[in-house]
């Protein structure tokens, strides 16, 4: 609390820098992917590499967008709220690329194979469900829709929690043996959801000043 | 990383195979109908070579013309030839599933670079009359190397066409004289976490173990490989000695073998121990039996963009399907 006054003074310029950094950081993986594609640096199995990389980036951005609210409510970093929408929309962008690469580039829109892939591969099914969930959220992310939906907007956008869980299940199911990394991301999502529970939030708010002064 | 440029490899290969190509033109024409089928995407096994054709083993692979599959079967490989273009040497040696080094396919070659493959001995024993411990260099002297062009289908849904060098496992097994009680063959990879950093992943029951039924092991298509593309096997591909069973998913073709035992019970492989509901003893390539978590109906051939339909027994049904008559392949996955 003591730092609030001085932070407010410099927050505008710092906030702009942080905003720009969020956009640059979110676009960097795409730039790197295009660079690697142009330099034929995408392994012997390039389509799979593109699928993995777009999927992984979507996951990371989704987790980061889920971190914004707790950063504000629990840790008092108010700027974070402004990063939530761009991070969520970039996550959707990469999820869309991921979906398009799978259906068009990988399966060449072969409906017979795609149907088989989606109904036989349960990981593809949950991934697809997560992507479908994100579509209405992306559409209603504008200020206009926020006003139009009022209280229902918040309720609608809580669907991102379900999407987060589905994405983790998708990841855990697709790895062959070594589940350490997907489970680590699962722990991150669980933690971020836990920080939204009012009791947990209140408890951390109570002990936070003590941590600061320690 | 000491990557071998494809420019260093391919020209030599093309040069070697070109001479073979001139002699193989007639043969290729004879198999043109099969080539047309392959070009339509419904590729099938090419028919066996109609006549034996004298050619040194190292020249015995079909030439590769990008985009147009060739079908000249190799005389030594008989029915084993694949009617498709060979996968690039750089891809075969740079994209490897070899968890003993890393679960990252692109990292294996670098991590395996200094793997010591010589001296190397293999112990063949168990239920046999004449157990044998033999150095790889003696194996090479004893069993002439022949070239076998095989498709390799990974359980993950990708595939390659690899010109292996090797020798029939049946010959070696006959030499040790299996007892009548021997029904299965158990293979074991080297256990050496100092050289193989992946073996420090404690949740895998190392060493890597695989098994075949004795008749599968004795089948003409089953080989022990010591090389590919006319060169000595590199560590990332399982040097100095690995199994190749082309009608089964790639993980059955165990690498860097130090032990072969004839046994009376089906051996439990590493993957069976890891996930028994996902990986069975047989692991025959089968588009109709999906992995519990993903489909096996199609595959991507490394180097191609589209997908190919996966063939029963990886396209070797004609040669091996009779091994499984009367068996429920859904139960025995």
Question: What is the per-residue pLDDT for B20?
Answer: 45
**B302 to chain A: which residues are within 8 Å by CB?**
44-45
pLDDT in tens, A67-78: 999 999 888 888
ipTM score for this prediction: 0.78
pLDDT in tens, A197-210: 989 888 887 887 76
Residue corresponding to tokens 């007892």: B179
Q: Establish if A75 touches chain B: CB-CB under 8 angstroms.
A: no
Q: What is the token pair recorded at A91? A: 């996550």
Q: Do A44 and B307 touch (CB under 8 A)?
A: no
pLDDT grade, residue B53 (50/70/90)? very low
Answer yes or no: is pLDDT of B316 > 80: yes
Q: Do B307 and A116 touch (CB under 8 A)?
A: no
For chains A and B, count residue pairs whose Cβ atoms are closer than 8 Å: 61
For chain A, domain boundaries:
4-213
**B105 to chain A: which residues are within 8 Å by CB?**
43
Rounded CA-CA distance B124/B136 in Å is 12
B213/chain A closest Cα distance in angstroms: 25
Residues in chain B whose beta carbon is closer than 8 A to a beta carbon of chain A? 88, 90-91, 94-95, 99, 103, 105-106, 155-156, 158, 201, 203-204, 274-275, 290, 293-295, 297-298, 300, 302-303, 305-307
Residue A169: closest CA among chain B residues belongs to which residue? B293
Question: What is the per-residue pLDDT for A4?
Answer: 53
pLDDT grade, residue B213 (50/70/90)? very high
Minimal Cβ distance to A178: which of B103, B158, B293:
B103
Q: Do A174 and B105 touch (CB under 8 A)?
A: no
Q: Establish if A124 touches chain B: CB-CB under 8 angstroms.
A: yes
Q: Do A176 and B156 touch (CB under 8 A)?
A: yes
**B250 to chain A: which residues are within 8 Å by CB?**
none
Q: Do B300 and A123 touch (CB under 8 A)?
A: no
What structural domains does chain B harbor? 6-324 (3.90.420.10)
B40/chain A closest Cα distance in angstroms: 16
Question: What is the per-residue pLDDT for B59?
Answer: 37
Mean pLDDT of B53-67: 39
A176/chain B closest Cα distance in angstroms: 8
pLDDT grade, residue B63 (50/70/90)? very low
pLDDT in tens, A78-90: 889 999 999 999 9
Question: What is the per-residue pLDDT for A9?
Answer: 54
Minimal Cβ distance to A122: which of B88, B156, B293:
B293
pLDDT grade, residue B82 (50/70/90)? very low
pLDDT in tens, A19-53: 999 999 999 999 999 999 999 889 899 999 999 99
pLDDT grade, residue A7 (50/70/90)? low
Q: Do B293 and A117 touch (CB under 8 A)?
A: no
Q: What is the token pair recorded at B192? A: 């050496």
**B72/A27: higher pLDDT:** A27
Q: What percent of chain A has pLDDT over 90?
A: 66
Rounded CA-CA distance A63/A168 in Å is 10
What residues does B159 pair with on adjacent strands? B153, B301
Answer yes or no: is pLDDT of A62 > 90: yes
Minimal Cβ distance to B302: which of A45, A105, A176:
A45
Answer yes or no: is pLDDT of A140 > 90: yes
Whose CA is closest to B170, among B203, B135, B196, B146? B146
Q: Establish if A106 touches chain B: CB-CB under 8 angstroms.
A: yes
Question: What is the per-residue pLDDT for B145?
Answer: 94
B147/chain A closest Cα distance in angstroms: 24
> Which of A150-154, B223-227, B236-240 is least confident?
A150-154
Q: Establish if A105 touches chain B: CB-CB under 8 angstroms.
A: yes
Query: Which site among B290, B304, B330 would you substitute to test the A interface, given the most A Cβ atoms closer than 10 Å to its Cβ?
Result: B290
Mean pLDDT of B264-273: 96
Answer yes or no: is pLDDT of A121 > 70: yes
Minimal Cβ distance to A120: which of B103, B204, B290:
B290
Q: Do A44 and B204 touch (CB under 8 A)?
A: no
What residues does B301 pair with on adjacent strands? B159
**B2/A118: higher pLDDT:** A118
> Which of A116-130, B159-173, B236-250 is least confident?
A116-130
What residues does B147 pair with on adjacent strands? B165
Q: How many CB atoms lie within 10 A of CB B329?
A: 16
**A124 to chain B: which residues are within 8 Å by CB?**
294
Mean pLDDT of B10-27: 42
Question: What is the per-residue pLDDT for A141?
Answer: 95
pLDDT in tens, B271-288: 999 998 889 999 999 999
Please tell me whether residue A179 adopts helix, strand or coil conformation. coil
Whose CA is closest to B254, among B93, B150, B99, B144? B99
Answer yes or no: is pLDDT of B220 > 50: yes
Mean pLDDT of B173-182: 97
Pairing mode, strands B158-168 and B184-189: unpaired
Whose CA is closest to A176, among B326, B324, B309, B270? B270
Q: Establish if A40 touches chain B: CB-CB under 8 angstroms.
A: no
The size of chain B, in residues, is 333
Whose CA is closest to B34, among B74, B75, B71, B82? B71
Pairing mode, strands B209-213 and B257-263: unpaired
pLDDT in tens, B84-110: 899 999 999 999 999 999 999 999 999
Rounded CA-CA distance B57/B74 in Å is 9
């Amino acid at each position: 609390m003591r730092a609030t006054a001085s932070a407010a003074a410099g927050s505008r310029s710092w906030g702009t820098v942080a905003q720009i950094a969020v956009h640059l950081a979110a676009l960097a993986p795409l730039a790197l992917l295009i660079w690697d594609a142009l330099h034929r640096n995408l392994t012997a199995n390039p389509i799979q590499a593109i699928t993995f990389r777009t999927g992984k980036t979507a996951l990371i951005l989704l987790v980061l967008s889920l971190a914004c609210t707790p950063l504000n409510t629990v840790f008092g970093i108010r700027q974070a709220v402004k990063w939530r929408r761009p991070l969520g929309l970039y996550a959707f962008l990469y999820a869309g690329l991921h979906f398009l690469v799978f259906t068009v580039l990988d399966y060449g829109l072969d409906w017979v194979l795609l149907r088989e892939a989606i109904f036989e591969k349960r990981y593809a099914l949950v991934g697809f469900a997560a992507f479908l969930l994100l579509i209405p959220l992306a559409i209603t992310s504008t200020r206009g829709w926020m006003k139009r939906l009022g209280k229902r907007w918040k309720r609608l956008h809580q669907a991102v929690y379900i999407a987060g869980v589905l994405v983790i299940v998708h990841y855990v199911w697709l790895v062959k043996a070594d589940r350490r990394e997907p489970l680590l991301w699962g722990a991150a999502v669980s933690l971020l959801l836990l920080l939204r529970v009012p009791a947990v939030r209140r408890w951390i708010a109570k002990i936070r000043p003590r941590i600061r002064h320690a | 990383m000491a990557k071998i440029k494809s420019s260093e490899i391919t020209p030599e290969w093309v040069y070697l195979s070109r001479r073979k190509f001139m002699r193989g033109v007639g043969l290729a024409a004879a198999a043109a109908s099969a080539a047309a089928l392959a070009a339509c995407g419904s590729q099938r096994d090419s028919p066996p070579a109609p006549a034996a054709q004298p050619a040194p083993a190292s020249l015995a692979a079909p030439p590769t013309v990008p985009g147009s599959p060739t079908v000249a079967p190799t005389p030594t490989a008989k029915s084993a030839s694949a009617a498709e273009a060979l996968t690039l040497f750089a891809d075969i040696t740079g994209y490897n599933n070899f968890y003993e080094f890393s679960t990252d396919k692109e990292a294996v070659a670098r991590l395996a670079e200094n793997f010591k493959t010589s001296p190397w001995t293999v112990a063949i024993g168990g239920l046999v009359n004449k157990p044998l411990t033999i150095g790889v260099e003696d194996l090479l002297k004893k069993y002439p190397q022949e070239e076998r062009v095989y498709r390799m289908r990974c359980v993950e849904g990708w595939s390659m066409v690899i010109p292996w060098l090797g020798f029939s496992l049946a010959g070696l097994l006959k030499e040790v004289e299996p007892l009548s009680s021997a029904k299965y063959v158990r293979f074991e990879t080297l256990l050496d976490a100092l050289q193989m950093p992946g073996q420090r992943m404690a949740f895998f029951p190392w060493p890597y173990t695989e098994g075949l039924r004795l008749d599968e092991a004795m089948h003409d298509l089953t080989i022990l490989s010591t090389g590919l593309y006319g060169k000595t096997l590199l560590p990332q591909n399982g040097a100095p000695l690995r199994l190749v069973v082309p009608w089964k998913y790639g993980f059955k073709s165990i690498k860097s073998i130090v032990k072969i035992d004839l046994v009376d019970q089906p051996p439990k492989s590493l993957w069976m121990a890891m996930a028994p509901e996902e990986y069975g003893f047989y692991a025959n390539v089968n588009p109709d039996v999906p992995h519990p978590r993903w489909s096996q109906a199609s595959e991507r051939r490394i180097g191609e963009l589209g997908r190919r339909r996966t063939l029963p027994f990886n396209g070797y049904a004609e040669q091996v399907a009779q091994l499984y008559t009367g068996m429920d392949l859904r139960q025995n996955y």
